[in-house]
Amino acid sequence: NTPLRKRATAKGLIYGATSQHRILSSDKKFAARFAQECAILVPEGELKWRTIHPSPNYFNFKPGDWMVEFAHAHGMLFRGHTLVWHGSLPRWFADTVNSRNVEQILLKHITTVAGHYAGKIHSWDVVNEAIHPPHGRTDGLRNTPWLQLLGPNYIDIAFRAAAKADPQALLVYNDFGLDGAAYQDELRRTAVLKLLERLKSVGTPVHALGIQAHWWGGVTRLDSGKLKAFLRDVADLDLKIMITEMDVTDKKLPKDVILRDRIVAGIYEDYLSVVLDEPAVIAVLTWGLSDRYTWLSKYQPRKDRAPVRPLPLDAQLNRKLAWNAIGRAFDNA
Ligand code: G3I
């Protein structure tokens, strides 16, 4: 019955989840359960460009500030997500940013946002999802506005600016598709390692790899050997590892809730038991806490229209088999 945050803390680990200002400020029951289970809060969208930088010369810190307060009022840490991403860019971005002003705009954003929250952030996802091997570059980088306008060095520029603006935060490179046995995942692991090696070799201040861990039930296969070797390679670069966005999509799983929950829980436990075997791993975060609020309801709804069940608590905030599985993984770590 011990909450996940305590079971993780007992092993020197951090458990937490993402949520939103809108949710935590209106759903009191959920907010209370969140504070009970989580030792760290991740804002799901409040610190993304579209929300925090809605026009070129205006920053909207209100929702983020509210969340920092909420976290601190409940003895939780707070994460920054995210400073550089190709997603959730504001509408003004495409019209305004060009190769002449891009570096100045990026630096202003990072200096202002990371500066505003300096000292209050456990870890920043400085750069999010920069790898995409299918784009065909030898370095495996994703073809984003940042890459097009600044070249691969945009990543170094961002980490250096973040380190300057908030010297206390752990600076994270965060990406997905790094967990499975598929060839695609292997390509992504190789590209991420190459990137991290390069950043380290030129002295760019990166401190950790964030592994998103969005699993697809019935699709993603675990190859413990490959996964362990990857984690070790990352740790050998003198980097910490955080599992940053875990959830299990149940779109391809049977409708029967008991069976579905059992499969989802099994995935959490099998994956986390491998991951928590690696001493460089410092945290496990889920992308949401309760099935009441998950991006997957909208992004990966089931064909049979049954509500999705990807997270540790159900929509009524009851603990599921997945909650037990995560707890056991912490206990056995
Ligand atoms: O806030 C507006 C609201 O005013 C409007 O009425 C509504 C209409 O659709 O949209 C709301 O914004 C949505 C926002 O989530 C808040 O719920 C955006 O349309 C929607 O695109 C946005 O989606 C988020 C997505 O990232 C894009 O930023 C998801 O919630 C969020 O879970 C997802 O998170 C990403 C991580 O940042 C990176 N890793 C993958 C992960 C899952 O896709």
Residues 36-92 pLDDT 10s:
999 999 999 999 999 999 999 999 999 999 999 999 999 999 999 999 999 999 999
* 129 catalytic per annotation: yes
- Mean of the pLDDT values across residues 25-32? 98
What span, in angstroms and rounded, lies between the C-alpha atoms of 221 and 135? Answer: 24
Which residue among 46, 293, 295 is best mutated to probe the pocket of ligand 1, counting the most ligand atoms within 8 A of its Cβ?
A: 295
**Topology classification of domain 4-331:** TIM Barrel (3.20.20)
Computed over every residue of the chain, the mean pLDDT equals 98
Look at residue 100 in the predicted model and tell me its pLDDT.
98
Alpha helices in the chain (DSSP H): 4-9, 21-26, 28-37, 49-52, 62-73, 92-96, 102-116, 145-150, 154-165, 183-201, 224-236, 257-275, 295-299, 321-331
Q: Confidence class of residue 227 from pLDDT cuts 50, 70 and 90? A: very high
Look at residue 190 in the predicted model and tell me its pLDDT.
98
What span, in angstroms and rounded, lies between the C-alpha atoms of 117 and 126? Answer: 13
Residues near 214 by Cβ (< 8 Å), separated by ≥ 6? 176, 245, 246, 247, 249, 287
Task: Please give the number of the atom of ligand 1 that sits closest to the Cα of 288.
Answer: 32
Other residues' Cβ atoms within 10 Å of the Cβ of residue 60: 14
What span, in angstroms and rounded, lies between the C-alpha atoms of 168 and 24? Answer: 27
Look at residue 63 in the predicted model and tell me its pLDDT.
98
- Mean of the pLDDT values across residues 197-221? 98
Three-state secondary structure call for residue 275:
helix
What span, in angstroms and rounded, lies between the C-alpha atoms of 139 and 124? Answer: 24
Nearest residue CA, atom 43 of ligand 1? 295
Global ipTM: 0.94
- Mean of the pLDDT values across residues 277-300? 98
Q: How far is the CA of 88 from the centre of ligand 1 (A)?
A: 8
Catalytic residue among 37, 44, 46, 245: 245
What span, in angstroms and rounded, lies between the C-alpha atoms of 139 and 16? Answer: 33
* 186 catalytic per annotation: no
Kindly report, residue by residue over 243-263, the tens digit of the pLDDT.
Answer: 999 999 999 999 999 999 999
What span, in angstroms and rounded, lies between the C-alpha atoms of 121 and 110? Answer: 14
Q: Would you say 158 and 173 are in contact if contact means Cβ atoms under 8 Å apart?
A: no
Cα 320 from chain centre: 22
Domain range list for the chain? 4-331
Q: How far is the CA of 258 from the centre of ligand 1 (A)?
A: 29
Kindly report, residue by residue over 91-149, the tens digit of the pLDDT.
Answer: 999 999 999 999 999 999 999 999 999 999 999 999 999 999 999 999 999 999 999 99
Cα 99 from chain centre: 29
Three-state secondary structure call for residue 23:
helix
For the chain, give the percent of residues with pLDDT over 90.
100
- Mean of the pLDDT values across residues 178-196? 98
Q: How far is the CA of 18 from the centre of ligand 1 (A)?
A: 12
Which residue among 88, 126, 127, 175 is best mutated to probe the pocket of ligand 1, counting the most ligand atoms within 8 A of its Cβ?
A: 88
Residue with tokens 């590209």: 191
Q: Is 200 exposed, middle or buried (0-12, 13-18, 19+ CB in 10 A)?
A: middle
Terminal alpha carbon distance of the chain: 18
Confirm or reject: Cβ of 27 under 6 Å from ligand 1: no
Q: Would you say 179 and 271 are in contact if contact means Cβ atoms under 8 Å apart?
A: yes
Q: Confidence class of residue 272 from pLDDT cuts 50, 70 and 90? A: very high
Report which DSSP code applies to 308: P
